[in-house]
Amino acid sequence: MAQSGFHGILGLAVVRAIGGRSSKTGVSPVEKGQTPEAELKRGVVFGYVLGNILPDADLLPLAITFLFDSRLAMRMHRTATHSLVVIVPLMLLGLLFLRGRGKGMALGLGLGAITHSMLDIFVWFSSVDLLWPLGTWSVPSVVNLWSGVEVGRVAGNFLGALDYLAFALYYAFLAKMARARETDADFLPQLRVFTVLNLAFFAVYTVLSFVLSKGLFEIAHYAMFVLVFFPIAVYTTVKMRSTIEAMA
């Protein structure tokens, strides 16, 4: 239950609430001015949205593990890429050594990843190893507000199906922002295809959530999520960079 699309929606909503409402139409960087402050802000905005999504990239090296032991794979999920011990030092290094838009990207990625981890603590009914790898040295590092909650088979499977609906809503939000700001028009047809594809998979996996066992559903779901739909979400976010930065 990665729900990366909902993390992306949250990232878009935050940057839109902070600075996007004043951006009525698409404006080129030259028209807005290539000031250091403007470059920094654009980097922060894009980095924040991408940073809300990227922590779930830890599922990529776990794809093979899911085929043999989905429970082990989920225990390994939400560790290094969700840990403040990893995120904060990397962000500080970026702030120290990068300049301009790169510095803004480092700050945005770090803040976005922290937001992702904080949200995961309160939703998705699973634990987050917030201080990984300190647990290796007996330091309490895992936060689990759901340790006494048992999610039923159908409900757990349906939460997985919601991954595809989340991506579809994320793409719809991006498309709306692009049309409002007149940005990334050439990518909108491809974005429409991705949206429809995710809605179709949401319908299919909703049906499968009722008929498959939890183990079989997780294998079928995460194989598609990790190898196809999550990379598409990252690719789409990068391709829609002009739209996201226009919210700055």
Residue type, 33: G
Q: What is the pLDDT of residue 72?
A: 67
Residue 78 and residue 125: Cα distance in Å, rounded?
A: 12
Cβ atoms 139, 78 nearer than 8 A: no
- CA-wise closest residue to 53 among 104, 108, 100, 11: 11
Least confident of 66-80, 111-125, 129-143: 66-80
Least confident of 74-83, 94-103, 106-115: 74-83
Which has the higher per-residue pLDDT, 244 or 60?
A: 244
Q: What is the pLDDT of residue 30?
A: 45
Cβ atoms 198, 17 nearer than 8 A: no
Residue 174 and residue 169: Cα distance in Å, rounded?
A: 9
Tokens 């999610």: give the residue. 151
Least confident of 93-107, 128-142, 195-209, 211-225: 211-225
Decide if pLDDT at 22 tops 70: no
Q: What is the pLDDT of residue 194?
A: 98
* Mean pLDDT (the chain, rounded): 89
Cβ atoms 183, 26 nearer than 8 A: yes
The distance in angstroms from the start CA to the end CA of the chain is: 30
Q: If pLDDT is split at 50, 70 and 90, which confidence band does 73 have? A: low
Q: Where are the domains of the chain?
A: 4-245
Decide if pLDDT at 29 tops 50: no
Question: In the Cβ-directed half-sphere of 175, how many Cα atoms lie within 13 Å?
Answer: 16
Q: If pLDDT is split at 50, 70 and 90, which confidence band does 109 have? A: very high
Decide if pLDDT at 27 tops 90: no
Distance of CA 143 to the CA centre of its chain: 20
Measuring CA to CA, how many Å separate 83 from each of 14, 89, 133?
A: 22, 10, 8
The DSSP H or E segment spanning 138 is none
Decide if pLDDT at 20 tops 60: no
Residue 183 and residue 25: Cα distance in Å, rounded?
A: 8
Q: What is the pLDDT of residue 78?
A: 87
